[in-house]
């Protein structure tokens, strides 16, 4: 497994992990977004290990403002992340894209796409708002989803530990996976419950095996 940096269009260098033996195909993996990305990080890397064992190179770049990035998340937008993922695809010579959950919202559309359980921006935003309302209630505070969303549109919000700027909030409300020709892997095709629904990060080797197997059917 390799680790390193890759250059983004904005001039920052971001972290990447991957498996690169100069093979084809070469898969850009676009991680799930926000809290789901944290919950699925181990699972995502284990899926890449299975692709490596099957003879496929893969690359998992950080989105600017996330994980090891030094850029502030509140300044990031979905449009900026799309540009970054296009640049990453070109940098690593990707031939295909595997986008996980909300990653489908920022996946580069000029390559063949495989989307695992793609999520709309509105559904991701609703889940984070719901979690914030529940956390506030447990702390004895009265917050409503509508009030939070209104504030987020004008000044941004901190949701699930993530500082989202107003542009990001507005984009998420309208965003849907844009690659109509993408191959979709539904959770029903994989079996079991979605790991992003669990309270803590989790890994399921059976699900990772299945996703790698299904993806391999579209990579050659």
Domains of the chain: 2-119+178-216 (3.40.50.1820), 125-176 (no CATH)
pTM here is: 0.96
Predicted local distance difference test score (pLDDT) of residue 33: 98
Q: Hunting for tokens 């629904």 — which residue is that? A: 197
Cis peptide before 129 (omega within 30 of 0): no
Beta bridge partners of 178: none
Spatial CB neighbours of 195, under 8 Å, sequence gap ≥ 6: 39, 40, 43, 202, 203, 204, 207
Do 126 and 119 touch, CB atoms closer than 8 A?
no
Predicted local distance difference test score (pLDDT) of residue 139: 82
pLDDT of 32 strictly over 80: yes
E strands in the chain: 2-7, 13-19, 26-30, 57-61, 96-100, 113-116, 157-159, 162-164, 183-185
CA dist list (Å): 70 to 63, 67, 73, 91, 141: 11, 9, 9, 20, 32
Work out the mean pLDDT of the chain and round it to a whole number: 95
Mean pLDDT (whole number) for 131-156:
90
Over the Cα atoms of the chain, what is R_g? 17
The pLDDT tens digits of the residues spanning 168-210 come to 999 999 999 876 789 999 999 999 999 999 989 999 999 999 9
Predicted local distance difference test score (pLDDT) of residue 179: 63
Q: Hunting for tokens 């971001």 — which residue is that? A: 14
Do 179 and 113 touch, CB atoms closer than 8 A?
yes
Mean pLDDT (whole number) for 76-85:
97
């Amino acid at each position: 497994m390799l680790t390193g940096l890759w250059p983004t269009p904005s001039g920052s260098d971001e972290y990447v992990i991957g498996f690169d033996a100069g093979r084809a195909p070469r898969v850009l993996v676009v991680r799930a977004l926000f809290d789901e990305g944290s919950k699925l990080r181990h699972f995502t890397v284990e899926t890449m290990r299975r692709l490596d064992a099957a003879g496929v190179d893969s690359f998992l770049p950080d989105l600017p403002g996330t994980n090891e990035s030094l850029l502030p998340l509140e300044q990031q937008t979905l449009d900026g992340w799309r540009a970054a993922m296009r640049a990453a695809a070109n940098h690593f010579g990707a031939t295909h894209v595997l986008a996980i959950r909300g990653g489908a919202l920022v996946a580069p559309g000029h390559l063949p796409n495989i989307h695992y359980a793609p999520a709309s921006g509105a559904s991701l935003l609703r889940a984070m708002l719901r979690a914030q309302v529940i956390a506030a209630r447990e702390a004895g505070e009265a917050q409503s989803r509508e009030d939070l969303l209104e504030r987020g549109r004008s000044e941004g919000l901190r949701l699930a530990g993530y500082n989202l700027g107003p542009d990001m909030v507005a984009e998420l409300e309208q965003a849907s996976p844009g690659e109509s020709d993408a191959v979709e892997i539904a959770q029903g095709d994989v079996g079991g419950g979605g790991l992003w629904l669990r309270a803590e990060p989790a890994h399921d080797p059976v699900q990772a095996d299945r996703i790698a197997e299904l993806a391999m059917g579209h990579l050659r």
